[in-house]
């Protein structure tokens, strides 16, 4: 079976705000990126926009037990369900499947600091460490919040109780979340999916990790495309993106209005070397986007700004579709790791619904590994 896959609901959150309208300025060219260069200097982040959490997470108790990345994801999931006309529809939500792209969760900085301080003077550091880990870390969270807690909280708050999967693996988790959902609907192995990811960039621990890999941009703000020549690097962004995907027949049966048609999603994971990323992007394009036409179309790139892979992706896109407009999502929302691909696809779908575009290609080249591409059209 090769059923058509419709996008029927969008949930978007980033430093630009919430909802589709907050992000459509990307296509008008009148968006000023929101940057915080002071809190984590010398690093910059695209911070989360202020949100009224009660609108999508009504219980204060639920809000309190979630860390920021979970709240962002649960909120965006609620927006997507609302946009699709499915929020509160218990029968359909019970049958809906959920696929989430998530990282390893957030650490308890206070406990980390206490343990590290105590280790300096502990007579038996190993014993001290084990004792503190056993007594100070909440047993349900151990060293970091479990990655599947986001999916669990979406199920609890919004009542999505069908089959659930959580993918880990940086940017590629977001690519595969959409790829698997699309493939299962097309093959008749599911009718309705809620798919997406969330990321909190405002965390000293992740900034430290990426800096250890020399992956962060520490100079004054510059476009993704301009960074490679100056050392390269990405600016992390706090964001979440969720989509409701449905088989066309399922959506039509309930009278849903399509946002866009998700024609194809393809993924790759090449051994990185000179020219490998460019070749991968070209192969993914031939696999998934050979019917793309530049008239009325655009490319939304998830390029990071990291030297080497950024130039290769840009060169491949210029070779495939010379003269086609390419929007670097990292310029306006930052690099949002697990959320990057689903959020970019959601922005592309919003542009199609609002007649900015008739077709769109969304790319993802992970900062260390993994490549992906999606092709969307109007219905």
The alpha carbon of residue 278 and the mean position of all alpha carbons in its chain are separated, in whole angstroms, by 22
Contact 302, 132 (CB under 8 A): no
Distance between CA atoms of 119 and 201, rounded to whole angstroms?
28
Residue of 268, 253, 210, 256 lying closest to 235 (CA atoms): 210
**Residue 353 structure tokens:** 């619904």
Amino acid 200: pLDDT = 95
Query: What was the pLDDT predicted at 144?
Result: 47
363: three-class secondary structure by DSSP: strand
Q: What is the mean pLDDT of residues 153-166?
A: 96
Q: How many CA atoms lie within 13 A of 224 on its CB side?
A: 30
Q: Give pLDDT tens digits for 308-356.
A: 999 999 999 999 999 999 999 999 999 999 999 999 999 999 999 999 9
Tell me: pLDDT of 132 over 90: no
Q: Work out the number of other CB atoms within 10 angstroms of the CB of residue 137.
A: 17
- CB distance 269 to 369 below 8 Å: yes
| Lowest mean pLDDT across 132-136, 214-218, 219-223 | 132-136
User: What is the tens place of the pLDDT at every residue in 10-25?
Assistant: 999 999 999 999 999 9
| pLDDT higher than threshold 70 for residue 142 | no
* Averaged pLDDT for residues 255-262: 98
Which residue from 370, 23, 40, 102 is spatially nearest to 235, judged by alpha carbons? 40
Q: Say what angle helices 276-288 and 309-320 make with each other, to 10 degrees.
A: 40
Q: What is the mean pLDDT of the chain?
A: 94
pLDDT given for residue 146 in this prediction? 74
pLDDT-above-90 percentage for the chain: 88
Domains and CATH numbers, the chain: 5-106+144-377 (3.40.47.10)
CA distance 316 to 282: 6
Q: Which residue has the higher pLDDT, 113 or 121?
A: 121
Rounded to whole angstroms, the Cα distance separating 189 from 245 reads: 13
Burial of 99 (0-12, 13-18, 19+ CB in 10 A): buried
Rounded to an integer, the average pLDDT of 107-115 is 79
Q: How far apart are CA 145 and CA 311, in angstroms?
A: 36
């Amino acid at each position: 079976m090769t059923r058509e896959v419709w996008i029927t609901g969008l949930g978007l959150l980033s430093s630009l705000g919430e909802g589709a309208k907050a992000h459509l300025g990307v296509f008008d060219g009148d968006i000023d990126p929101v940057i915080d260069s002071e809190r984590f200097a010398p690093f910059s982040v695209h911070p989360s926009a202020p949100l009224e959490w009660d609108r999508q997470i009504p219980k204060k108790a639920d809000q309190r037990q979630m860390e920021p990345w979970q709240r962002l994801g649960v909120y965006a999931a609620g927006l997507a369900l609302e946009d699709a006309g499915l929020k509160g529809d218990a029968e359909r939500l019970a049958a809906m499947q959920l696929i989430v792209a998530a990282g390893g969760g957030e650490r308890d900085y206070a406990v980390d600091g206490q343990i590290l301080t105590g280790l300096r003077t502990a007579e038996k550091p190993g014993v001290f460490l084990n004792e503190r880990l056993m007594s100070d870390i909440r047993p349900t969270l151990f060293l970091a919040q479990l990655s599947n807690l986001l999916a669990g909280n979406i199920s609890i708050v919004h009542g999505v109780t069908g089959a659930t999967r959580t993918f880990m693996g940086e940017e590629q988790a977001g690519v595969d979340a959409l790829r698997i959902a699309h493939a299962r609907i097309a093959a008749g192995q599911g009718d309705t999916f809620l798919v997406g990811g969330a990321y909190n960039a405002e965390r000293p621990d992740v900034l430290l990790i990426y800096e250890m890999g020399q992956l962060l941009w520490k100079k004054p703000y510059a476009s993704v495309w301009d960074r490679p020549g100056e050392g390269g690097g990405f600016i992390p962004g706090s964001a979440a993106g969720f989509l409701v995907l449905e088989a066309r027949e399922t959506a039509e049966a309930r009278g849903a209005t399509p946002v866009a048609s998700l024609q194809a999603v393809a993924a790759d994971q090449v051994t990185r070397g000179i020219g490998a990323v460019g070749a991968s992007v070209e192969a993914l394009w031939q696999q998934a986007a050979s019917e793309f036409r530049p008239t009325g179309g655009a490319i939304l790139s998830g390029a990071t700004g990291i030297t080497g892979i950024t130039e290769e992706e840009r060169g491949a896109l210029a070779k495939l579709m010379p003269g086609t407009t390419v929007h670097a999502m990292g310029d306006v929302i930052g690099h949002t790791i697990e959320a990057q691909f689903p959020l970019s696809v959601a922005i592309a779908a919003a542009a199609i619904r609002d007649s900015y575009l008739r077709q769109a290609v969304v790319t993802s080249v992970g900062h260390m590994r993994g490549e992906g591409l999606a092709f969307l059209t109007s219905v």
